[in-house]
Amino acid sequence: MPPKIDFLTLIAKRDSTIASLNDLLEFHVFYQVEPSLSSLENRSVKKQQDTIADRLTESASEELQTKNQVVGDEAKAKFLKYAEQFAIYQKSFFAKVHRLEKLSVPTWDGVRISYTT
């Protein structure tokens, strides 16, 4: 004789399991959405900071660009001038003429080594 199966109990257990799985999925989805919400908030803050910085730079950008250009040109001119002076200064140390010098040759008398210079 086959075992007696209570279909109503099995259906109730199945429905209970489906409901608990749905609750778990909703909980999982909630915790998946939370990090993306915080990243969206961070992005909006970053975007606000960027727009504020852009507005500040656009208002006086031409004036600052011309000032930076002038300062940069002055720095280049001074650097080239000082680099040239430094090159002249270095050349003054190495102004010696390099030539071959005659060196004395060591002699050997057969008994001991003597290097006379």
Q: How is residue 112 written in tokens? A: 């001991």
3-state secondary structure of 36: helix
Q: How is residue 65 written in tokens? A: 């660009």
Span 65-78, average pLDDT: 88
The verdict on pTM exceeding 0.85 is: no
Please provide residue 60's backbone torsions phi and psi, each rounded to the nearest 5 degrees: -125, 30
Mean pLDDT computed over every residue of the chain = 77
pLDDT at 74: 93
pLDDT at 47: 81
Q: What is the DSSP string of 39-104?
A: HHHHHHHHHHHHHHHHHHHHHSHHHHHHHHHHHHHHHHHHHHHHHHHHHHHHHHHT-SPP-----P
Span 56-61, average pLDDT: 69
CA distances to 88, 89, 90, 116 from 93, rounded to whole Å, are 9, 7, 5, 32
Task: Render pLDDT for 83-113 as a digit per residue (tens, 0 to 9).
Answer: 999 988 888 877 565 567 677 777 766 766 5
In the chain, % of residues over pLDDT 90 = 13
Say which residue the tokens 């959405």 belong to: 33
